[in-house]
Every structure is written in structure tokens, then in C-alpha cells.
A and B are shown apart, each in its own frame.
Chain A
Amino acid sequence: MLPNAVILILQETLEAALLIGVLLAVSTRVHDSKRWLPIALISGGCVAAILANQMGIISEWFDYAGQELLNALFQTIICLTIALAVWLTATIDPLNPQPGKVAAFSHCAIVIIFCAVVREGQEIILYLSGFMYTENFQKVLTGGALGFSIGASIGILLFYSLVDHAGRERRAACLVLLALFAGNMLSQSTLLLMQIDWLTQSPPIWNSSTLVAETSIFGQLLYALVGYEATPSPIQAAAYILGVTLVTGANFMPRYYPDKKKQQVQPVRGNDA
């Protein structure tokens, strides 16, 4: 029971912790308040509990496709909102942050963390609720505490190692992590659509399960970090690349198509020589 609980809860926590760590590191750059974090965590947790409670009804929607559709929706929203948040941070001037854009970034962060917490939270709640009144509950809780603490610790270390670096390196690292995460989300959503036969499955484009098995610890870590898949189908790979491109594009677009307005409003600083 215990290692199982550790792995299950670690997987879910790690995903949320990575996101929160990276977004916090990004938000220190744009100097917004960190108020979005508790808002997103609490509201996400509540909605996750409601969804877990109603999962029986939800999974019967669309001819037993409700669960997958809901999760795919959340994943797509996460991917698109990450792209939007990255675009916003790329246009915010860290020395003179525009309040409107900083607020918009905070809203994006709320949406991203909210969706992630709802997704991860409902699975954890369903899992724990199954053991609620059994003799194994203590073991599962212990395992859950272990998994949660390990995930949270990795998130904290990631955050501080990101914040510790100078602006440029930090931006690059955050961008890479967010882009991979967005790709991972989009590719997972296609997988869910295949599971309910809304997308047709085609044979995998490669099989690296002998090289790095998904069941191995390394495979699990790669899965959490970059969404490693040993046997991905072409659509999945395409969705992954699309997600990564979307986010990197959102980062570099403002550089090649700079805002015309912004150049005009360059403040004329004093003739106080």
C-alpha cells in the first residue's frame, strides 16, 4: 500500500509543485503579489472535492467519456494559459511593470494552478476516500505524507534554484520548463481523447521502453519533468511539439513584432543637466 501511495501522490504533487515553483519564480520577476497562490490552491481544492464527489455522474456523460473530456479540457486550458502567461511576461518591462499586465499575469497564474490542482486533487481525493475506513488508511496516509513532502521539497528547491539565478538564465530555465509542461499537457489530452475513441489511435512512432521503461524511477521522473512516453503515437508527438511551439512562440513573438505603442510612449526623462 505504502510505496503505491507514495508514487501516486508524488506524481500528482510533483506536477503541481513544478508548476507552482516555476510560476512563483516568474512572478518574482514581474513583481506581482503572490496572492494568486492561496486563491488558486483553495478554490482548486474545493472544486476538486466536488468533482471527485460527483465523478460517478460525470464519467457517464457523453457515453462514458465525461471524465476524459473534462480532464482533456483542463489540460488544454493549462497549455493555452501558460502560453498567454509567457506572452505577458515577455512584454512586461521588469523595471517598470505595467499594473494591467501584472494583474493579467496573476489571473493566468490562478487559472493554471486552479486547473492543475483540480486535476490532481480529484484523483488524490478519490484514492484516499477508497481507504477511508479500512485498516490500510494509516499506511496510505503515511505514504501520502511521504509522497507529498518529497514533491513539495522538489518544488521548493526548484523555486530557489530558479530565483537564485540571474535574470537571463532564470528566464530561459522557466521558459524551457513551462514549454515542456505545456507540451506534456497537450499530448496527454490527445491520449485521453484516444482513450474514448474521439481520436483514432495509430501505431507508436517509437518504442523506447527497453531503453527507459516508464515503470522505472528514472522513467517516472522523466514523465513528471518532460512528459516522457515510451510509446507515443504520432498525434501525441504532434500535440507535444505544438504545445512547446506555442509557448516558445509566445515568448519570442513580442521580440520580433514589438508593440508599436510601447515605442512611442518611451518616457522623456529630465533635461535636468
Chain B
Amino acid sequence: MNRLIIKRILFYFGLLLAIAVSPISQAAPIIKIEIKDHLFYPSEFSVPANTKIKLLIINNDPTPEEFESYELNREKVIIGNSKAVIFIGPLSPGTYPFFGEFYPKTAQGKILVN
């Protein structure tokens, strides 16, 4: 009995997922951020509002870094000398700070959405 109900819940959850996972129709604009000596380049840039953005983060340092932003709800480890992809948005206008969680004293930046 209870197994049936659990199955049903899982089914609806799957359905929800299937609806939410829509195919990536239009290619999101790409913004490249590089990390060097625990600094972000660029450390400040603007993106258009209500658009999905693909961040391509390239870590040139030998040490790992974690891209983190509370405002963007994003968190991802980028290991040394490698790259990573993070999708953000669509965002409403405003300022969205981000930082490198492993070296937060220097790795700081912000995204201006307008």
C-alpha cells in the first residue's frame, strides 16, 4: 500500500522534472571569467536583465577555487588549471556580488544586471 503511494509521489516528481527540464532552445550568451593569482578578471561586468547567461570560468591558478554567490545561489568548485561552466539568470536588475570561497580576501567580484 505505502509502496504504491511512494511510487505515485515519485512519478509526479518525475513528471514535474520532465516539464521543468526544457530543451535548451536558444544559446545563452557566454561570458568568460578568468582566475589568476586568486583574482577575477574581469571582476566587474554587466549583463542584460531577464536573460540566461552562461559563465565560462577559467582557473589559471594551480590551486582549486570555489565560485560562490549567495545572491545568485551558485556554488561550484573549479580545480586548478581547468575550466567550468555555470548558468545564471534570468535575473532581475540589480547588483549580484560573487567571490571565491577559497580565497575570499582577494577573489571578489560583482555582476551588474541592467
- A and B directly contacting (CB within 8 A): yes
A residues adjacent to B (C-beta < 8 A): 1, 4, 8, 55-56, 59-60, 63-65, 67-68, 83, 87, 123, 126-127, 129-131, 191, 193-201, 203, 209, 213-215, 229-233, 235, 238, 242, 245-246, 249-250, 253-254, 257
Find out whether the CB atom of B52 lies under 8 angstroms from the CB atom of A201. yes
Q: Which of B9, B76, B80, B92 contacts A68 (CB 8 A)?
A: B76
Given A55-B77, A197-B24, A229-B73, A246:B85 Cβ within 8 A: no
CB of B73 to closest CB in A, whole Å: 6
Q: Which of B22, B64, B70, B76 contacts A129 (CB 8 A)?
A: B64
- Using a CB-CB cutoff of 8 Å, which residues 71-104 of chain B contact chain A? 71, 73-80, 82-90, 92, 101-102, 104
Given A197-B24, A249-B5, A59:B87 Cβ within 8 A: no
Jot down 27 A-B pairs with beta carbons below 8 A, ordered by A. Answer: A1-B105, A55-B64, A55-B77, A56-B79, A59-B79, A59-B82, A64-B84, A67-B84, A87-B2, A123-B77, A126-B77, A126-B79, A130-B80, A130-B102, A191-B73, A193-B21, A197-B52, A197-B87, A198-B21, A200-B52, A201-B52, A201-B87, A209-B71, A242-B9, A246-B9, A249-B5, A254-B2
Asked whether any CB of chain A lies closer than 8 Å to the CB of B114, the reply is no
CB of A234 to closest CB in B, whole Å: 10
Which residues of A lie under 8 Å from residue B102 when comparing CB positions?
4, 8, 127, 130
Q: Which of A130, A199, A230 contacts B63 (CB 8 A)?
A: A130
CA distance A191 to B76 in the complex (A): 11
CA distance A123 to B9 in the complex (A): 32
Q: Which of A4, A67, A245 contacts B76 (CB 8 A)?
A: A67
Given A242-B13, A257-B1, A131:B79 Cβ within 8 A: no
Find out whether the CB atom of B2 lies under 8 angstroms from the CB atom of A253. yes
B residues adjacent to A (C-beta < 8 A): 1-2, 5-6, 9, 13, 16-17, 20-22, 24, 28, 52, 54, 63-66, 70-71, 73-80, 82-90, 92, 101-102, 104-105
Q: Which of A64, A68, A196, A232 contacts B83 (CB 8 A)?
A: A64
Main secondary structure of the interface of A (DSSP, over half): helix
CA distance A68 to B28 in the complex (A): 19
CA distance A253 to B82 in the complex (A): 48
Which residues of B lie under 8 Å from residue A232 when comparing CB positions?
73
CB of B102 to closest CB in A, whole Å: 6
Q: Which of B64, B70, B73 contacts A127 (CB 8 A)?
A: B64
Find out whether the CB atom of B5 lies under 8 angstroms from the CB atom of A253. yes
CB of A51 to closest CB in B, whole Å: 11
Find out whether the CB atom of B85 lies under 8 angstroms from the CB atom of A203. no
Q: Which 10 A-B pairs have the closest CB atoms?
A: A130-B63, A64-B85, A253-B2, A197-B87, A214-B70, A257-B1, A126-B64, A199-B20, A130-B64, A56-B79
Find out whether the CB atom of A215 lies under 8 angstroms from the CB atom of B70. yes
CA distance A36 to B7 in the complex (A): 28
CB of A75 to closest CB in B, whole Å: 13
Find out whether the CB atom of A131 lies under 8 angstroms from the CB atom of B71. no
CA distance A213 to B71 in the complex (A): 10
Q: A235-B20, A257-B1 are in contact. List 20 more A-B contacts (CB 8 A).
A: A55-B64, A59-B84, A63-B85, A64-B84, A123-B77, A130-B65, A191-B73, A197-B52, A197-B54, A198-B21, A200-B52, A203-B90, A209-B71, A231-B71, A235-B16, A242-B13, A249-B9, A250-B2, A253-B2, A253-B5
